[in-house]
Chain A
């Protein structure tokens, strides 16, 4: 890419409530160890009754703005990626933009691509700032996803958001977005029909032809396009529908799994869908040193992967200090729910 784009601020949000796999397994007569070890899940986040993709995106974006110290009025576009937008028709992005004070001189739209709508928003942001169509773009991914009661997804579907303020002035980058590569096909591994409360999925089909084909395809394509090999990177963040798939992807690519651990958040907060890979990226940015190289590859069912080369800059350590509510703060504060309260929080009963 001839013109530069980069992250000038990032922020996250994870709701306070958690439920453990043991508690869900107790209801459905499953073996908790099978979930814990088989899916690599310790617990997952659960939103409060008054939280949704919009409210979580607002809090994550406020943290990103605080880090960037940029006036919200300078934001030229707001894109919110989610598969649980609170309205079927009426944008989440306008709610977020208005709450941040970015309106009215800007454009906005909602995006949906299962778990990768957040990275789709980042790519659009890169395009807009590097083509001078906008000075700053806010790109966020947020989800309060649902799993069908008793389904494997009920153990993993969490809630959370990550937001990025993307700019074009190198002097402001906390991390440069050096390049991106995508790999997309029509693959029916996971879907939710209009008006349906819960998604359906292809079970084992979600593995090899869906997650692994696209994640490996995008990552290898990125290596080829920019002339990198796995050893050039300090950290890898892969989409994390559970705690196991990203480690398996690393092994298939011949990557030391240690380089994946810093960005692996799903075991602690569940799969936050559109937020998942980018919360993982924020987790890495929270610990990375200046001058390090991060590879991020998202995955969205349906299916596609976006891969990025991200280089941290000297500004990163100072920028981090400006945000009190970083990912560790959100992850460490928690209140556990039993299955009954969880049902109420997620309105899983028809009468709620």
Chain B
């Protein structure tokens, strides 16, 4: 199923440049963007920030039975990445199979197509990660 154009467009800063939020009151970093700091509530002040893209594998799984649109890529590694700045996110690890990755491996963000609405729809780009 094709992703709504407005949703894709709104998420471009997050997907292309790892844009998230930083609370200038408590210095907590959030990804993706947040409008409210759950720690500081009304005292919090959230500013946009770009994450460096460096992180490590917090946990991972090999996906053998892929969702629609990703069948050709299976088997692939889906991991929870802990970014250097703190927050965690879920993303694919490129160019890797189960035997290539372990928890704690250092990774770096790469820019790839994350889904393609075949045959005539949009190509949605975004972050994936690669072992350093």
Q: Do A and B come from one complex?
A: yes
B128 within 8 A of partner (CB)? yes
CB-based nearest A residue for B132 = A324
Is the beta-carbon distance between B72 and A98 smaller than 8 angstroms?
no
B24 within 8 A of partner (CB)? no
Q: How far is the CA of A344 from the CA of B94 in the complex (A)?
A: 16
Partner of A55, one of B12, B17, B73, B125: B125
Is the beta-carbon distance between B113 and A55 smaller than 8 angstroms?
yes
Interface stretch among A46-54, A114-122, A165-173? A46-54
Is the beta-carbon distance between B17 and A101 smaller than 8 angstroms?
yes
Number of B interface residues in the complex (CB < 8 A):
16
Q: How far is the CA of A58 from the CA of B126 in the complex (A)?
A: 11
Residues of A contacting B73 in the complex (Cβ-Cβ under 8 angstroms): 49-50
Is the beta-carbon distance between A51 and B125 smaller than 8 angstroms?
no
Cβ proximity bits B9-30 to A, threshold 8 Å, 1 near / 0 not: 0001000110000000000000
Is the beta-carbon distance between A59 and B95 smaller than 8 angstroms?
no
Is the beta-carbon distance between A51 and B113 smaller than 8 angstroms?
yes
The distance from the CB of A279 to the nearest CB of chain B, in whole angstroms, is 19
B114 within 8 A of partner (CB)? yes
B50 within 8 A of partner (CB)? yes
Is the beta-carbon distance between A87 and B16 smaller than 8 angstroms?
no
Q: How far is the CA of A51 from the CA of B114 in the complex (A)?
A: 10
Partner of A50, one of B16, B17, B50, B114: B114
Known contacts A16-B95, A87-B123: does B72 contact A49 (CB below 8 Å)?
yes
Is the beta-carbon distance between B123 and A86 smaller than 8 angstroms?
yes
Is the beta-carbon distance between A50 and B113 smaller than 8 angstroms?
yes
Is the beta-carbon distance between A50 and B94 smaller than 8 angstroms?
yes
A315 within 8 A of partner (CB)? no
Is the beta-carbon distance between B113 and A99 smaller than 8 angstroms?
no
The distance from the CB of B115 to the nearest CB of chain A, in whole angstroms, is 9
Is the beta-carbon distance between A95 and B110 smaller than 8 angstroms?
no
Residues of B contacting A208 in the complex (Cβ-Cβ under 8 angstroms): none
Cβ proximity bits B106-119 to A, threshold 8 Å, 1 near / 0 not: 00001111100000
A335 within 8 A of partner (CB)? yes
The distance from the CB of A46 to the nearest CB of chain B, in whole angstroms, is 12
Is the beta-carbon distance between A99 and B123 smaller than 8 angstroms?
no
Cβ proximity bits B89-132 to A, threshold 8 Å, 1 near / 0 not: 00000110000000000000011111000000001010010000
A 82-132 contacts with B by CB, 8 A: 86-87, 95, 98-99, 101
User: Nearest 3 CB-CB pairs, A to B?
Assistant: A50-B112, A58-B111, A99-B16
Write the residues of chain B forming the contact surface with A, with a CB cutoff of 8 angstroms: 12, 16-17, 50, 72-73, 94-95, 110-114, 123, 125, 128
19 extra A-B contacts, CB within 8 A, seeds A101-B17, A101-B50: A48-B112, A49-B72, A49-B73, A50-B113, A50-B114, A51-B112, A51-B113, A52-B113, A52-B123, A54-B123, A54-B125, A55-B110, A55-B125, A59-B110, A59-B111, A95-B125, A98-B17, A99-B17, A344-B72
Write the residues of chain A forming the contact surface with B, with a CB cutoff of 8 angstroms: 16, 48-52, 54-55, 58-59, 62, 86-87, 95, 98-99, 101, 335, 344, 352
Q: List 23 A-B contacts (CB under 8 A).
A: A16-B95, A48-B94, A48-B95, A49-B72, A49-B73, A50-B113, A50-B128, A55-B113, A55-B125, A58-B111, A59-B110, A86-B113, A86-B123, A87-B123, A95-B125, A98-B12, A98-B17, A99-B16, A99-B125, A101-B17, A101-B50, A335-B95, A344-B72
